[in-house]
Structure 1
Amino acid sequence: MISIKNRLTAFEKLGNFLRQFSTKGIEEKPDVPFNEVFFEGFKHQIKLAEENNSWFTKANILFATENWASALTAENLNMWIQDEDLSESTPKKVAIIMAGNIPMVGFHDFLSVLVCGHSVLVKQSSNDKHLVPFLAKYLEYIEPSFKGMISFTEDKLSGFDAVIATGSNNTARYFEYYFKDKPSIIRKNRNSVAVIQGNESEEDYENLSEDVFRYFGLGCRSVSKLFVPKNYDFDAFFKGMYKQREIVNNTKYTNNYDYNKAVYLMSEFDILENGFLMIKEDQSYASPIASVFYEYYENPIDLKIKLHQEKESIQCIVSNGFIENEVSFGNTQHPKLWDYADGVNTLQFLTRI
């Protein structure tokens, strides 16, 4: 079994590799091991990922790699595991069913399983099948003991001891039935919300535009719902959203915008829009692409109670001094290693199976 120190070191070196691929540009650095084998190869995988899924723009892929490069430092890795004893866990085989909504969305589960000393069996989404297997190969070069511990399959899962599965609310019911005899984490649909109190700055709204539009709003950490004070004027909100106006240059996004706008208009819903984003009063949390739902509130205490009662539907709450565990404007897509999806501590689960 690989020592915990060697496991962490391997991922720290992977972070160094990923640091060459950022939103500021792609630049080969001379001190990164095995670049002669992997640097051009990963550039090619980014290109393939972009061609395979038109939601995966180069900018969004590089944003994801940049975030992982920032997360995979010795300091962050050691802080993440400090409350868990990972040295004595009995190695198991853990299956991961990954979603494909944003680039490398299942990588945290992949990292968690290997850091805990288990083997991993990955079933990827067809929407995101290029990036993680390539990084797995890099890990096996950095730490040869990982060979034999990492496998990918397109077939029916078998021969595993526990499972982490992410999907829609519908597929989650299937997962819960199918994996009822195995230790499991089953993740369902969640969305993120922003609470507007009326005292937000222009910068807050511009930062919020990142939470709304990054990954075209397809992530569970993307803000798809606003809670606004009664009689709120949306002018400041739309002014902040204007920072993302270039999104209309993406054909797939614009097609979704046009389609959803037509549906709303034919249904005679009241909407406000600015040419690339629609907002609609609606109690639901999951809004269609190119739209954000909103709901008015009068009493902040009542809203806090509502958010607590409906926490199973919410991934992040974006606000400024409104509620505990809030995320500041512009930071939903910068989770730390210890910001667990659905609030379920993956390390605790993996050390107890």
Structure 2
Amino acid sequence: MTVSHPLTTAARPAALPQRPLRIAILGATGAVGQELLQLLDERRFPVAELRPLASPRSAGQTLAWQGRSLTIEPVTEEAFDGVDLVLASAGGSVSKQWAPLAAAAGAVVIDNSSAFRMDPSVPLVVPEVNPEAAFSHGGIIANPNCTTILLTLALAPLAARRPIRRVVVSTYQSASGAGARAMEELQRLSRTVLDGGEPVSEVLPHSLAFNLFLHNSPLQPSGYCEEELKMLNETRKIMGLPDLRLTATCVRVPVLRAHSEAVNIEFAEPFPVEEARQLLARAPGVELLENFEANRFPMPTDVTGRDPVAVGRIRQDLSDPNALELWLCGDQIRKGAALNAIQIAELLRDPAGLTAATVSAGGAA
């Protein structure tokens, strides 16, 4: 369903002011909210005022940030008065309720939920892939799904060189994708199993302790779950390839906070492995990590707490002369969520300051 927004691009400047900004974090107590706070500090983002917002049950609690104690405020319409930027990570229903009101109050909202991603009036942005899209916003910019962000960082530099015909991807998704409580549950239930007990999950539908299961997002009539369809639809939108053929199988695995993906990419013509390797090695946001002699390729522990998406084991698909295979890992909370949002804000403040690879992929063959 298309959401009607209160403002259009003509009603506001596309860029953020150069001065220090008044920032509200919607969902400040969650895993991504906590990472946003850390990244604002790490990246020395110019903050004039920071307002942590959360549900009424969290209101009045305090958060430590830059040596100060910040009091969490409940989300109200007045909470957005005078705010320049809202970083929202509190779920789709919360964003649908509050993001349009924050935009109407004059803020730019960068939303990490799925609420606006497929709205044709809302840009869906990965700064290294489609930075120009960020400046077509009407007050709200959507942050893509974590698996999509990681995937498009690897696809974009390759698609810019040769048209992509089809992508087949299998994901291995960490507990962090289900939030801080799921991460805590994985740790707790792992101890239960090691102590000889029976793990009983309360956050996820099944225990992740020494286990895995197909992604638990709602199944659709097609037999695909929502998470898999997000990868298809969001990748098409970000890369400007509305006819891209992409299929995904998403799996939840017992890893705390980094996602992995096995990716098969079919091109319109053969793509030399070494050429692909060189393109990915210099692609922004990507780190090449592969040692075939040692059989050493990216692992979740390589990227946990780090910015780059690690890509490796790039090889020729033996079943198709036009296809390549690769493996990637990326921190779901960081580049898969909070970092991408901060980078969008940095791009809006300083369009020339962010190294970006604008993709002109043409079209899917």
* TM score, norm. by length of structure 1: 0.38
* TM score, norm. by length of structure 2: 0.37
As a proportion of its length, which structure holds more helix? 1
With a CA cutoff of 8 Å and minimum separation of 6, indicate the structure with the bigger relative contact order. Answer: 2
As a proportion of its length, which structure holds more strand? 2
